[in-house]
Amino acid sequence: MSEPSGSAPLTIALPSKGRLKEQVEAWLTDCGFKVESEGGERGYRARIGGLPGAEVRLLSAADIAQSLDQGEVHLGVTGEDLLRERGGDLDARVMMLRALGFGRADLVVAAPQSWIDVETMMDIDDVAHAYLVRTGRRLRVATKYHIQTRRFFADHGIADYRIVESLGATEGAPAAGAAELVVDITSSGATLAANNLKILSDGVILRSQAHLAASLAMSWTADQLATLTRLMSVVEARADGRDLCALRWPSDQAAAAELAVGRYLDQGATRRTDGVLVRRADLFDVSAALGAAGVGPVSVTRPDYVFSARSEAVDRLKQRLGR
Average confidence (pLDDT) over 115-136: 97
* pLDDT above 80 (res 88): yes
Into which CATH architecture does domain 105-207 fall? 3-Layer(aba) Sandwich (3.40)
Report the distance separating Cα 236 and Cα 232, nearest Å: 6
Q: Would the pLDDT of 6 be above 70?
A: no
Please compute the mean of the pLDDT values over residues 23-31 and round it to a whole number.
98
Residues 258-311: tens digit of each pLDDT: 999 999 999 999 999 999 999 999 999 999 999 999 999 999 999 999 999 999
In this predicted structure, what is the pLDDT of residue 43? 63
**Cβ-proximal residues to 177 (8 Å cutoff; 6+ apart), any chain:** none
- pLDDT for the residue 168: 81
Read off the pLDDT of each residue in 163-167 and give the average, rounded to a whole number: 90
- pLDDT of 55: 96
**Strands, DSSP E only, in 61-103?**
75-79, 94-99
pLDDT(134) > 80: yes
Tell me the C-alpha distance between 69 and 71, whole Å. 6
pLDDT at 191 over 90: yes
* CATH number of the domain located at residue range(s) 10-103+209-238+311-321 in this protein: 3.40.190.10
| Within this chain, domains 10-103+209-238+311-321 and 105-207 share the same CATH topology | yes
Query: What pLDDT is stored for residue 182 in this prediction?
Result: 98
Q: Could you give the CA distance from residue 16 to residue 263 in angstroms, rounded to a whole number?
A: 47
Q: What is the pLDDT of residues 9-26, one digit of tens each?
A: 999 999 999 999 999 999
Q: Which residue has the higher pLDDT, 169 or 66?
A: 66
Instruction: Give the per-residue pLDDT at 2.
Output: 46
Is pTM beyond 0.85 here? yes
Which strands form 244-248's sheet, in the order they lie side by side? 270-272, 275-279, 244-248, 299-301
Mean predicted confidence (pLDDT) in 53-74: 97
Angle of helix 222-243 versus helix 312-321 axis, rounded to 10: 150
Sign of CA dihedral 261, 267, 269, 271: positive
